[in-house]
Chains A and B, each alone.
Chain A
Amino acid sequence: MTEQIREFDVAVIGGGPAGLAAAAAAASQGAQVALIDRNSQLGGILNQCIHDGFGLHAFGEVLTGPEFADRYVRRATDAGVFLQSNTLVTSLAPSGEIICSRYGQRKQLRAKAIVLAMGCRERTRGMIRIPGYRPAGVYTAGTAQWLTNLANVRIGRRVVILGSGDIGLIMARRLTWEGAEVIAVIEKLPYPSGLPRNINQCLLDYEIPLHLSHSVTCIHGKDRVERVTVSRFDETGTPVAGSEFDLVCDTLLLSVGLIPENELSRRAGVVLDRTTSGATVGASYMTNVPGIFSCGNVLHIHDLADWAAEEGERAGASAAKYAEGIHGDAVVEESIPIRAGDGIRYVIPQRVSRSTDQVLMSFRVTEPRGKTTIRAISGKAMIGSTQLNKAHPATMVQLRIQIEDLAGPVEVTCS
């Protein structure tokens, strides 16, 4: 039953690292904060990421996903955040009204500022249109990770992994440890999309072959996966005739990309970026809808939970300020656009208000490169730059620039 509508300064939707950090940051500024998450255990995707590699940046220690999540849950609890798990937000109005649903209860609440931190979902077989039958045994890597690490279910015995994203690589090692045979990892691009360290410790250690410039071109088996056909792809992305070979397997895992979970946002009028599938935001992480902020994987896919949490902190702090009446971002029309130039896939934020004095930009390059210079240019003036020994699309890059007397739109390029 709906009870009386509760009011908060800030409501955070999603209790992964980004949401928890946002809620803690907002609460520590004195805001009254509610955080809502649909899962029974807070921490988001990290609860299933039982491998280590988290926290080096945020805590200077190597932690597993659940340990990392636990730290942020404690932070939010200590900061006095009203934590509501097992609760799904079903709708969000531009005015800040939220409807949520949980066992035995539909509930409304209202907040002066909203932080979107719903994370992402995985790209599926249907989206990448793999031809063939639709048997049992085709799973996205994250779902397989949940089934393996939380449900104690063995998803299969002979596994082929399509896509060299980090989740797929982590699962290759995990399943090998658990006695499954990982036949190969297949990647359509000429380079792996996961981090080099995961190639090393997840594939090389166990001599699991990685077929670059290859993809699965047919799934066989009407009932359960029996084998997959793999073909080589040329530079134009077309399969090379005669290059096909079959791999016998009972399971196909897909690690072919993540998509920000923006259904709620879209319906609340939040404008999405075609490249990131996340919101377009200003330097304070406010979307085009005043009072609605976005951070973490729902804004753009992060490779590191540490970065997602840091972004959450910044967005949460802005949301708390907004609730107090301090607006960091101007309306969209009066902002200066920030654009991705040559060699850059996207830049967050997509705009900056003239009144901001500096902005931290997060971005990715389009393809792997060696020594690289990143430049931020406005008009003819270079307003910031950084040197990288190497750059990889799998690794997010950050650059802070000062905003003074900008001649026009900011463009980030690399060379």
Chain B
Amino acid sequence: MNHRVITCILCPNGCELEVGWDGEPTTQSVEVLGNLCAKGISYALDELTHPERTLTTSIRVRGGVQRLASVKTVSPIPREAVVAARELLQPMVLNAPVAIGQVVVEDVARTGVQVIVTRAVASQSDPEQS
């Protein structure tokens, strides 16, 4: 029996999951203790097979009242793709105004996941919006 302790990151409860499994970890083989909700079980399995994380970072804005807009992947992407995704986004520049929810990249680092803006940046020529 394999055994690992994993802290669930899906909510602030941060349950300490006691995970046990035989052979390959699968829905059937994995046993989870310490989870306060069902999401903890699928999180544990994901963590053993293909851990995923959300990337939140910044992108340059041209002509905005601020220099940077914040962005995120709309859903978690494979953990090992996070740094590559960041590198792909780094040279990008958006033109102000930038709106919350605006799609920046349709499919970042071939993960099939969108990157969207999370903070609006008004354009310098439109001081009304703040």
- Residues of B contacting A197 in the complex (Cβ-Cβ under 8 angstroms): 7-12, 14
Assembled-state Cα–Cα distance A257/B60 (Å): 31
The yes or no answer to A52 lying at the interface (CB within 8 A) is: yes
Contact A53 B12 (CB under 8 A): yes
Assembled-state Cα–Cα distance A395/B11 (Å): 12
Contact B79 A205 (CB under 8 A): yes
- Which of B14, B83, B118 is in CB contact (< 8 Å) with A195? B14
The yes or no answer to A177 lying at the interface (CB within 8 A) is: yes
B23-31, B51-59, B102-110 - the one binding chain A? B51-59
Contact B56 A152 (CB under 8 A): no
A398 smallest CB distance to B (angstroms): 13
The yes or no answer to A41 lying at the interface (CB within 8 A) is: yes
Of chain B, the residue at the smallest CB distance from A51 is B56
A291 smallest CB distance to B (angstroms): 30
Chain B proximity mask over A142-173: 1 for CB below 8 Å, otherwise 0? 00000011111000000000000000000000
Assembled-state Cα–Cα distance A174/B79 (Å): 15
The yes or no answer to B32 lying at the interface (CB within 8 A) is: no
Contacts between the two chains (Cβ within 8 Å), count:
84
A67 smallest CB distance to B (angstroms): 5
- Residues of B contacting A395 in the complex (Cβ-Cβ under 8 angstroms): 12
The yes or no answer to A268 lying at the interface (CB within 8 A) is: no
Chain B proximity mask over A165-198: 1 for CB below 8 Å, otherwise 0? 0000000001001100000000000000001110
Contact A70 B100 (CB under 8 A): yes
Assembled-state Cα–Cα distance A395/B15 (Å): 12
B38 smallest CB distance to A (angstroms): 15
B79 smallest CB distance to A (angstroms): 7
Assembled-state Cα–Cα distance A154/B57 (Å): 14
The yes or no answer to A79 lying at the interface (CB within 8 A) is: no
Contact A70 B53 (CB under 8 A): no
Main DSSP-derived SS at the B contact region: loop
Within 8 A of A (CB), among B50-80: 53-58, 60, 65-68, 70, 72, 79
The yes or no answer to B18 lying at the interface (CB within 8 A) is: no
B25 smallest CB distance to A (angstroms): 18
The yes or no answer to A236 lying at the interface (CB within 8 A) is: no
Assembled-state Cα–Cα distance A220/B98 (Å): 43
Assembled-state Cα–Cα distance A86/B120 (Å): 17
Contact A66 B66 (CB under 8 A): no
- Residues of A contacting B57 in the complex (Cβ-Cβ under 8 angstroms): 50, 174, 177-178
Chain B proximity mask over A9-44: 1 for CB below 8 Å, otherwise 0? 000000000000000000000000000000011000
28 contacts between A and B (CB under 8 A): A40-B130, A50-B72, A50-B119, A53-B12, A56-B11, A64-B119, A66-B100, A66-B118, A66-B119, A67-B118, A70-B100, A148-B58, A150-B67, A152-B67, A177-B57, A178-B57, A195-B14, A196-B16, A197-B8, A197-B12, A200-B6, A200-B7, A201-B53, A205-B79, A303-B12, A304-B12, A390-B16, A395-B12
Residues of B within 8 A of A (CB): 6-12, 14, 16, 34, 36, 53-58, 60, 65-68, 70, 72, 79, 82-83, 86, 100, 118-120, 130
Residues of A within 8 A of B (CB): 40-41, 47, 50-53, 56-57, 62, 64, 66-67, 70, 85-86, 148-152, 174, 177-178, 195-197, 199-201, 205, 303-304, 389-390, 395
